[in-house]
């Protein structure tokens, strides 16, 4: 997946939020790590992949995609905070369950929190792209949904969300 345009759009949003809320001098890395953990938890909840005790179906695919791109926003934002903006990333190639992939994501993000280099960042990003494939989303699905949500996020800032 080509990432350059996504990083550009994310930087515009991050700069807008940081200026609007007077956060330009603050290091938001820890907050963004926690936000990514929360978004991944919300995504897992919508997929219901771990809810072995329930027969309820997953949320509609569009709801799951919207939750997925919320995570993309924070993943891009973390890269920007650390000056890690690779031009592209490809999904991890591995066979695993969706539940196992969510658990791998949590471990990888926690590792990135301590090992803030491009190699570790790419592992997180590539696992997240693998998760997209596992959930049935293409690069085009992700890009379209990201841009739509990015526009919504700007509007939310303008309406004091």
Q: How many CB atoms lie within 10 A of CB 126?
A: 19
Instruction: Give 40-52 pLDDT, tens digit per residue.
Output: 999 999 999 999 9
Q: Of the candidates 139, 141, 122, which has an alpha carbon nearest to the alpha carbon of residue 76?
A: 122
Instruction: Give 48-80 pLDDT, tens digit per residue.
Output: 999 999 999 999 999 999 999 999 999 999 999
SS (H, E, C) 115-137: CCCHHHHHHHHHHHHHHHHHCCC
Q: Rounded to whole angstroms, how far apart are CA atoms 132 and 127? A: 9
Q: What is the pLDDT of residue 102?
A: 98
3-state secondary structure at position 2:
strand
**Token pair for 89:** 């990333």
Sequence-ordered list of residues with C-beta below 8 angstroms from that of 47, at least 6 positions apart, any chain: 58, 59, 64, 98, 135
Q: Rounded to whole angstroms, how far apart are CA atoms 88 and 86? A: 6
The confidence band for 115, taking pLDDT boundaries of 50, 70 and 90, is very high
pTM (predicted TM-score): 0.94
Q: What is the pLDDT of residue 87?
A: 96
More confident residue, 158 or 29: 29
Q: What is the pLDDT of residue 159?
A: 86
Q: What is the mean pLDDT of the chain?
A: 96
Structural contact between residues 90 and 122, judged by C-beta atoms closer than 8 angstroms: no
**Which domains does the chain show, CATH number per domain?**
3-159 (1.10.4010.10)
**Token pair for 142:** 């992700």
pLDDT at 98 over 90: yes
């Amino acid at each position: 997946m080509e990432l350059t345009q996504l990083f550009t759009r994310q930087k515009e949003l991050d700069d807008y939020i940081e200026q609007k809320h007077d956060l330009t001098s603050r290091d938001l890395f820890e907050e963004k790590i926690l936000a990514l953990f929360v978004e991944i938890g919300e995504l897992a909840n919508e997929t219901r992949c771990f809810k072995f005790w329930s027969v309820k179906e997953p949320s509609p695919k569009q709801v799951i995609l919207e939750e997925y791109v919320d995570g993309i926003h924070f993943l891009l934002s973390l890269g920007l905070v650390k000056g890690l903006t690779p031009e592209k990333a490809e999904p991890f190639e591995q066979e695993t369950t969706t539940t196992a992939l969510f658990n791998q994501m949590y471990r990888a993000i926690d590792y990135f929190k301590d090992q803030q280099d491009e190699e570790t960042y790419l592992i997180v990003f590539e696992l997240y792209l693998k998760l997209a494939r596992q959930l049935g989303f293409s690069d085009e699905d992700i890009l379209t949904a990201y841009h739509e949500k990015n526009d919504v996020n700007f509007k939310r800032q303008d309406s004091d969300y």
